[in-house]
Chain A
Amino acid sequence: GDSVTQMEGPVTLSEEAFLTINCTYTATGYPSLFWYVQYPGEGLQLLLKATKADDKGSNKGFEATYRKETTSFHLEKGSVQVSDSAVYFCALSDYLTGNQFYFGTGTSLTVIP
């Protein structure tokens, strides 16, 4: 079945450091891929998405490229800020499984000044 595996946390970085959070997936069909962010005490918000192979999603300095050959959708940011401290979830939606979402377990990021 479909599934998402993402990098274990927690991750602690200094401000202005480079961020990578790894995400790989298994899917039956041709999924769309998403990164969601959850700030403390809040619900999940869409950060970015990509709907076909080689697409790059980007938002707020974050980027992720849909790599079909490696079944990956790694999240990157060149210079993190304290305000980026949150939990990040990788997810996929696959029309062959009724467009249900499959979420990774989440990666907690703390950025220290």
Chain B
Amino acid sequence: NAGVTQTPKFRVLKTGQSMTLLCAQDMNHEYMYWYRQDPGMGLRLIHYSVGEGTTAKGEVPDGYNVSRLKKQNFLLGLESAAPSQTSVYFCASSPGTDATYEQYFGPGTRLTVT
């Protein structure tokens, strides 16, 4: 099993450009998440999904959109990138509804917006 994979690993954008980050998992997990990691702030939840075709907002959703058209994929979109969105983005997945389940993380995407 590859686990959770993310594409791309690195990206540099100019202000106002758009891009999509792809997350894929091969563990048949129901729940998927997008986080951003910034120095001194830990991980903050952007959006999450509790199943195919569903999405919900997390702590810091502004400026991002997501889609979960297939159970194994969770896409994060930036429509008009801003320097404040420079960060490391992590995708995670979890089997489902039990609070004892851990989350499984991808390797991250380092995004720089100039």
Contact = CB atoms under 8 A, between A and B. Distances in A.
B42 A106 contact: yes
A43 B102 contact: no
A62 B102 CA distance: 17
A101 B106 CA distance: 16
Interface string B93-114: 0100111111111111000000
**Chain B contact surface mostly:** loop
A49 interface: yes
A49 B99 contact: no
B107 A100 contact: no
Interface residues of A, number: 22
A103 B102 contact: no
A105 B42 CA distance: 4
A45 B104 CA distance: 7
Nearest to A50: B100
The 7 closest A-B pairs by CB, nearest first: A43-B105, A95-B99, A105-B42, A51-B100, A44-B105, A103-B42, A103-B43
Interface of A: 31-32, 34, 36, 42-46, 49, 51, 89, 93-95, 99-101, 103-106
